[in-house]
Copies of this chain bind each other. A is one copy, B any other.
């Protein structure tokens, strides 16, 4: 039965949860399909995550492989294909808890970087799992700075082979998923040498394990890198190469090639080598950031509606913690952010689809903007989302700290998204470089990409808001964000120029501005996110209650950003201290308004209890009962610990001196 404290929250929803779910899914038809996929997966006991929190790294890996293999069978059985409409729901349905994710990156990198001939050879093998692929880019000594990779691939003209080597310990490949124990093949990124000349980093397909007995191939040393904060189910691996030879055809050569005589030919932009990363960055936002943030909000908000602690009004029943302003101020901005990022994901996806189409037609003009946006938003969304999940975890107090809440694993997983596929600070700086360049171009009247045309617009000097209600006007706050983004970008550009003009070397000047450049890049992403949220709300029908509540969330997201970064807006007096008090007042008012719909707003994310896998977040709100039942299943309760006979008994029986 549903906890009455949760049931009552659902009776007063200001909108139809089912309609909001359908809208988030892109239509009721999609909701039906998604639910059908989820049901098939969850009905199958192989995909159960029931004991996940009790398993060792070895167990988690074994289960993840089992699930990945079973998934192939299941897809075959259900008639689901990788290009079918069901496919995009599968990853969500299995909660990412499967092996072979890097196998898919292996496939994608060949599709993007390989020639038609290479695609024809490798993709069918990989798709039918006649090999298991991985993607070996990062090394012990190099992550973000790809040009510094130390693995070498020397072309041997006599045998028409590349000879791959790990010349020193820091050159060892380190971190690639699926590589520690599963993969038979991998795409190795190595410095290409032909006739003693280095041509930079290129990708090579290398077999690392026998297809017969899985033993390591000659010249290969590989294994698992050991325990991590999360991803116990993934065999992140290491790889050393000792004179490993691969045929000339194994260099992925859609965009560049070594011909039999050693001639090096380049086709298209050299930046295309990095394009796989752009695609991965955009696709990870949805699965690795937005969904975990939505789940964390669901758990923490449902729990906050059933947890009662202390009395608000003397003499009354203890209050739901969701009724405390401080709790609302922790959770509701994260809820608003989950929606904001759900929408920015659509924006990026659309931009990416357009860009990818152009690249297919060998037009690389959109690459810089795509690269800048995918970098900046990967960093912005993962940083915000990570902080959001952490807030949700801490907002659940001690019970949030128990693995059984589901929040620790969501947190340690999303935390990794700040690091992998580009460390966030480095990514912000790449966006900043693009912004500075565009700002310079815009200020001299040159054409700039659509997302940054605002840098050229003339801005008002002061925020025109006169009372707290004015700050619920989307034009008012969008302008404020735009103003601060322009100010931060232009002032940092000015500092940079001043330094250079005063004789500081360009690279030193850049380094001395990087703290401020990161701020500028964040401000840009924050602005675009707010603007996109506003535009999304404006496109909604006004007849249902959905537009109204989405407008509230949009306002909350925008005002939370101002309230949490007041200095940025106050600095040049664009917003005055008095106006900032209005922002605060409107912001705090919104919390009380959205609080009423908080549970329906997380219900609309439509996560099943199995997918949340949380003793605190289940639909029925029976949190204490579930914590108690789940704890019984812990291996720590399976038997008396040997510690008793070995240590406690002798101690208690006062034989201390004889130990």
Contact = CB atoms under 8 A, between A and B. Distances in A.
A227 B588 contact: no
A225 B631 contact: yes
A444 interface: no
Contacts of A84: none
A169 B624 CA distance: 7
A27 to B, nearest CB: 34
A408 B229 contact: yes
A57 B635 contact: yes
Contacts of A654: 128-130
A224 B635 CA distance: 9
Interface in A535-567: 565-567
A363 interface: no
Contact of A58 (B308, B571, B636): B636
Contacts of A62: 641-643, 646-647
Contacts of A374: none
A620 interface: no
A419 interface: yes
A384 B478 CA distance: 32
Interface stretch (A8-16, A180-188, A606-614): A180-188
A503 to B, nearest CB: 15
Given A73-B656, A571-B566, A652-B129, A175 B588 contact: no
Interface-centre pick from A128, A227, A651 (highest chain B CB count, 10 A) = A227
Contacts of A514: 324-326
Contacts of A635: 56-58
A429 B326 contact: yes
B140 A624 contact: yes
A21 B633 CA distance: 48
Contact of A636 (B235, B313, B403, B633): B235
A572 B577 contact: yes
A242 interface: no
* Interface bin, chain A: 35 or more
A325 B515 contact: yes
A234 to B, nearest CB: 11
Contact of A402 (B131, B227, B412, B429): B227
A138 B512 CA distance: 50
Interface centre among A58, A129, A515 (most CB of B within 10 A): A515
A634 to B, nearest CB: 4
B419 A628 contact: no
A418 B391 CA distance: 11
Contacts of A323: 511
B642 A214 contact: no
A401 B329 CA distance: 29
Interface string A626-657: 01101111111100111110111111101011
Interface in A139-155: 140-145, 148
A284 interface: no
A117 interface: no
A634 B625 CA distance: 37
A580 interface: yes
A647 B224 CA distance: 18
Q: How many copies does the complex hold?
A: 2
Contact of A403 (B229, B397, B419): B229
B227 A143 contact: no
A170 B624 contact: yes
B66 A643 contact: yes
A217 interface: no
- Identify which of A180, A238, A402 gathers the most chain B CB atoms within 10 Å of its CB: A402
A61 B636 contact: yes
A450 interface: no
Given A53-B226, A326-B514, A647 B568 contact: no
A65 interface: yes
B648 A229 contact: no
Contacts of A649: 214
Contacts of A128: 654, 656
Given A314-B507, A567-B580, A398 B425 contact: no
Nearest to A424: B394
A338 interface: no
Nearest to A211: B652
A573 interface: yes
A239 to B, nearest CB: 12
Nearest to A423: B397
A651 B69 CA distance: 7
Contact of A238 (B326, B408, B628): B628
A648 B132 contact: yes
A200 interface: no
A21 B627 CA distance: 46
A518 B73 CA distance: 55
A593 to B, nearest CB: 14
A453 interface: no
Contacts of A308: 141
B641 A58 contact: yes
A228 interface: yes
A54 B310 CA distance: 41
Contacts of A235: 636
A515 B170 CA distance: 48
A318 B148 contact: yes
Contacts of A636: 57-58, 61, 180-181, 223-224, 226-227, 235
Given A73-B659, A635-B56, A401 B416 contact: yes
Contacts of A627: 140, 174, 225
A251 interface: no
A76 interface: yes
A420 interface: yes
Given A631-B224, A644-B214, A401 B511 contact: no
9 contacts: A58-B636, A132-B651, A143-B397, A174-B398, A223-B631, A227-B404, A229-B412, A325-B514, A326-B518
Given A69-B659, A145-B309, A169-B628, 6 more contacts: A140-B628, A145-B318, A181-B644, A214-B640, A226-B404, A325-B515
Task: Sort A-B residue pairs by CB-CB distance and give the 8 closest, nearest first.
Answer: A566-B567, A226-B634, A567-B567, A224-B636, A145-B310, A227-B403, A65-B643, A570-B570
